[in-house]
Amino acid sequence: MTEKIMCYTCETERAVELKERKETVTIKGKEVEFTAVSYRCTVCGDDFETPEQMDANLEAAREAYALRYETFSPDELVALRSSYNASQKAFGLLLGFGELTMNSYEKGSIPTSTNRLLIKLASDPYCFRKMYDVNKSRIGETQRKRIETSTGFQETKHWERMDAVYHTLTADERRSVERRTTG
Ligand SMILES: [Zn+2]
């Protein structure tokens, strides 16, 4: 089946070939290589990209950057999970993954973009605490005890106290605190 696409050189719809090429772009000062797609007109031989292909190429570049520079290594994942003293299974369930997902990531599988985001959020103890509150019913009592006494989890206790203190302040006192924290 040949697709017919508008070729702006020929100024009419033409049969096209799908082309893939390696391209290097610089994102945030770092070079990444990705596979870009385009069409080649079978009549005039010109290459062009449709708006959909431009979007797809941009997304492919972003994804290549994320995989190269924003992913978590197995060691980093183990360190993060250990800071909450959680088992692979419990940590995965708290983040909304399947039971075996963390195991595969810690063995070197690359997390999906959504899961990378969840892992990034979980590396902030306050976000992890929120995830924990939502999903703790999915894990057992022993795991809950281990996590609640972990260093990472204990950090959130300070915020709880600060939050409680904040609510006892007058409007003027709050403004004064806010000025100090932003100053
Ligand atoms: Zn053409």
Beta strands, E only, the chain: 4-7, 12-27, 30-41, 47-48
Sheet holding 4-7, edge to edge: 4-7, 12-27, 30-41, 47-48
Distance 41 CA to ligand 1 centre (A): 5
Ligand 1 midpoint to CA 36 (Å): 20
CA-based angle 153:156:158, to the nearest 5? 130
Label residue 1 by pLDDT band (50, 70, 90). Answer: low
For the chain, the structural domain boundaries read 11-69, 74-171
pLDDT of residue 16: 96
Taking a C-beta distance cutoff of 8 angstroms, is the pair 147, 132 a contact? yes
Dist. CA 165 → ligand 1 center (Å): 70
Residues 28-79 pLDDT 10s: 899 999 999 999 999 999 999 999 999 999 999 998 998 888 888 999 999 9
Q: How far is CA 65 from the centre of its chain?
A: 12
Q: Please determine, for residue 161, whether its predicted confidence score (pLDDT) is greater than 80.
A: no
Q: How far is CA 121 from CA 10, 76, 116, 124, 127, in A?
A: 50, 14, 9, 6, 6
Share of the chain above pLDDT 70, in %: 98
Distance CA 61, CA 105 (A): 22
Mean pLDDT of the chain: 91
Q: Ligand 1 centre from 34 Cα, in Å? A: 26
CATH number of 11-69: 3.10.20
